[in-house]
Amino acid sequence: MEKHTDIQFENELEQIRSQLLLMGGTVIEMIKGALQGLISANEQNFLTVFELEKKINSAEVEIDALCNNTLALRQPTASDLRFIVSSQRMIRDLERIGDEAEKMARMGQYFHKNIHKEIPKLDFSETVGNVISMLKRVLDAYARDDDAELKGVILDDKVVDDSFRSTLNELISFMLEEQARVSKCIDLIFFAKALERIGDHAKNMSESIIFMVHGNDLRHIKYK
């Protein structure tokens, strides 16, 4: 993004950027906390995620207000306008990622309250690692106005999708063996689905940054 002779305007844009990056760091902590809660059955992990979700909601409102004020008062054009529009798209994706992480925590909480000892032990660590890697690359690209890593992020969404399908197939096979097991697997299915949705939002954010940097709208374009 081009630099400005108007220092105050430049500071406003950097404030938007820095607050969005903080918001991104918070959702990553939420995802980690939800996984740790599922693994350890530590109630405090879940409660921390619920508290952070409130901060994410507040951050969305605050950053959106900053963007709208800048649009109204500065009437930016070209790259500055794309930056603000892309930032607004991204905060909505981040807020939804926060919702999905909160859902993961609730599903983990329900799972341990119901004490499903007979459910097959599923390891979500790899998928969590994948979505966190996607988010970190997205946030780094946003911080540096550099989209070099983002096609890889978009392609990695398919890896997360495949992981969800594999988990779903494993749980379906388990449920088919005994009908009484169905309700006991629902929490894990929703946990896995939330991760799949986070991957989708990371992909959306990648597309927003590519639009920000180059002006190319890649929404709904298929990658191979």
pLDDT at residue 222, as a whole number: 56
CATH number for 195: 1.20.58.220
Does residue 142 lie in a domain region? Answer: yes
pLDDT at residue 216, as a whole number: 67
pLDDT at residue 5, as a whole number: 55
- How far apart are the C-alpha atoms of 107 and 48, rounded to whole Å? 14
pLDDT at residue 219, as a whole number: 58
Does residue 169 lie in a domain region? Answer: yes
Per-residue H/E/C for the chain: CCCCCCHHHHHHHHHHHHHHHHHHHHHHHHHHHHHHHHHHCCHHHHHHHHHHHHHHHHHHHHHHHHHHHHHHHHCCCHHHHHHHHHHHHHHHHHHHHHHHHHHHHHHHHHHHHHCCCCCCCCCCHHHHHHHHHHHHHHHHHHHHCCCCCHHHHHHHHHHHHHHHHHHHHHHHHHHHHCHHHHHHHHHHHHHHHHHHHHHHHHHHHHHHHHHHHHCCCCCCCCCC
Does residue 223 lie in a domain region? Answer: no
Does residue 65 lie in a domain region? Answer: yes
Does residue 219 lie in a domain region? Answer: no
User: What domain count does the chain have?
Assistant: 1
Cβ distance 204 to 93 under 8 Å?
A: yes
Does residue 118 lie in a domain region? Answer: yes
Which residues constitute the domain of residue 48? Answer: 7-214
Cβ distance 84 to 76 under 8 Å?
A: yes
Does residue 35 lie in a domain region? Answer: yes
Q: What is the pLDDT along the chain (224 residues), one digit of tens a residue?
A: 445 558 888 999 999 999 999 999 999 999 999 999 999 989 999 999 999 999 999 999 999 999 999 999 988 888 999 999 999 999 999 999 999 999 999 999 988 887 656 666 688 999 999 999 999 999 999 999 999 999 999 999 999 999 999 999 988 888 888 776 777 788 899 999 999 999 999 999 999 999 999 886 665 555 45
Does residue 221 lie in a domain region? Answer: no
